[in-house]
Amino acid sequence: SSGNDGAAMAKATPIERITIFGGGLMGAGIAQSAAQYGFKVTLCDVSSKALDNARDIISRSIARVAKRAYPDPHSSSAPEHERKRVEDQRRVLVEGVWGRIKLTTDTEGAVRGSSGAESTDLHSEPTQLVIEAIVEDLQIKRALFQRVDEFAVDGCIFATNTSSLSVADIAEGVRESRRARFGGLHFFNRTPQMKLVEVIRTDQTSEETFQALLDVCARMKKKAVKCKDTPGFIVNRLLVPYMAEADIDIAMKLGAAMGPIELTDFVGLDTTKHILDGWREKLKAAQSSVENTETQKTANLPAALVEPSPMLEKLVKEGKLGHKTGEGFLKHRK
């Protein structure tokens, strides 16, 4: 199947067939989410034990989904046939999902598709999208993609679910011509419940590929945010330093039940600016005084976190201070 213009193909043929590598927590969740929304999914792991575990994770999760979709009849005295109807509906949903998932340890078959005796199999065609969710190790991810690159059709798109590595670095595992069809699809744990996916493009990711990845997210009923290939993308860039701070659980649960933009408008942009300016001053003072350990303690902040934010500075200058002025980052009804 050489001579195909892969990018054009990706645009012309919507993705139906997805192969996921890594049957851990993430791979299992991604497989389930895709199968729930009609994609034909192959889940591949090097370990059959991991696949058994993935089967359990998916079974438990999909049973919960089915129960929510078709709740128990209200009354405990509901007639038997009504209970049976609910059970049948749940079974159809669960079997439908399992009918679209194939588990395998065969890397080549997972990418090329099976043929011959299995040609009526849903998964007989070559895969159109590979999502990698194996261990967070650059060399191992590169090696997998290099191998998969040998078996995949030209139009196949590759995506990594890495949390912290550079997508472009991982893409170095594949041949030059594939890199236009290489991006990031960063799902969150637990994938069936989490609405967000960060879609990452490198300098080499083509527009068609990026659009195809966004389209897959939309069809999985996920909210996609577009990200550049920077460390931690959006969520983990903020979340990981936050997670690295100890003893903050109660404080943050009770003190910050909003998104950061929403919260800044609520607090007031001027107040937020004062806080940042104050901390920056303290940090500067601490850096210039070796003796004053008390100042150093209070200023124990990563410098990058208290850098002036150009957007915040601009809005404050314009008098857009949040709820109290009717507009901050967002517009508010007074």
Q: Does residue 145 belong to the site contacting ligand NAI (CB under 6 A)?
A: no
Please identify, using beta-carbon distances, which residue of 44 and 217 lies nearer to ligand NAI: 44
Distances in whole angstroms, Cα of residue 123 to Cα of each of 7, 14, 23: 22, 16, 17
- Greatest extent of the chain over all pairs of C-alpha atoms, in Å: 80
Please identify, using beta-carbon distances, which residue of 223 and 284 lies nearer to ligand NAI: 223
Shortest-Cβ-distance residue relative to ligand NAI: 24
CB of 31 closer than 8 Å to CB of 43? yes
Please identify, using beta-carbon distances, which residue of 87 and 137 lies nearer to ligand NAI: 137
Q: How far is the CB of 85 from ligand NAI (least distance, A)?
A: 37
Question: Which of 15, 41, 57, 144: binder of ligand NAI (CB under 6 A)?
Answer: 144
Please identify, using beta-carbon distances, which residue of 58 and 66 lies nearer to ligand NAI: 58
| Residue 198, phi then psi, degrees to nearest 5 | -90, 125
| Residue 137, phi then psi, degrees to nearest 5 | -140, 120
Q: Does residue 321 belong to the site contacting ligand NAI (CB under 6 A)?
A: no
Kindly list the catalytic residues: 163, 186, 198, 236
Question: Which of 6, 27, 173, 192: binder of ligand NAI (CB under 6 A)?
Answer: 27
Strand intervals (E) in the chain: 17-21, 40-44, 101-104, 129-132, 157-160, 182-187, 196-201, 223-228
Q: How far is the CB of 227 from ligand NAI (least distance, A)?
A: 13
Please identify, using beta-carbon distances, which residue of 148 and 283 lies nearer to ligand NAI: 148
Q: How far is the CB of 77 from ligand NAI (least distance, A)?
A: 44
Query: Residue 87, Cβ neighbours under 10 Å: how many?
Result: 13
Among the listed ranges 20-28, 245-253, 284-292, 326-334, the one in contact with ligand NAI (CB under 6 A) is: 20-28
Q: How far is the CB of 265 from ligand NAI (least distance, A)?
A: 29
Q: How many Cα atoms sit within 13 Å of 64 on the Cβ side?
A: 8
Question: Which of 57, 110, 130, 133: binder of ligand NAI (CB under 6 A)?
Answer: 133
> In terms of Cα–Cα distance, which of 278, 260, 265, 280 is closest to 320?
265
Instruction: Using the structure block, give the residue that is written with the tokens 């049957």.
Output: 23
Count of residues that interact with ligand NAI, criterion CB under 6 A: 24
Residues 179-238 that bind ligand NAI (CB under 6 A): 187-189
DSSP letters, 219-283, are HTT-EEEEEES-TTTTHHHHHHHHHHS-S-HHHHHHH--S-HHHHHHHH-HHHHHHHHHHHHHHH
Q: How far is the CB of 123 from ligand NAI (least distance, A)?
A: 17
Please identify, using beta-carbon distances, which residue of 134 and 286 lies nearer to ligand NAI: 134
- Dihedral sign, Cα of residue 58, residue 60, residue 66, residue 69: negative
| Residue 132, phi then psi, degrees to nearest 5 | -100, 125
Please identify, using beta-carbon distances, which residue of 9 and 145 lies nearer to ligand NAI: 145
Q: How far is the CB of 200 from ligand NAI (least distance, A)?
A: 12
248/280 Cα distance (integer angstroms): 22
100/218 Cα distance (integer angstroms): 19
Q: Does residue 301 belong to the site contacting ligand NAI (CB under 6 A)?
A: no
Q: Does residue 45 belong to the site contacting ligand NAI (CB under 6 A)?
A: yes
Q: Does residue 136 belong to the site contacting ligand NAI (CB under 6 A)?
A: yes
Q: Does residue 47 belong to the site contacting ligand NAI (CB under 6 A)?
A: yes
Interface residues toward ligand NAI, by CB under 6 A: 21-27, 44-47, 50, 133-136, 140, 144, 161-163, 187-189
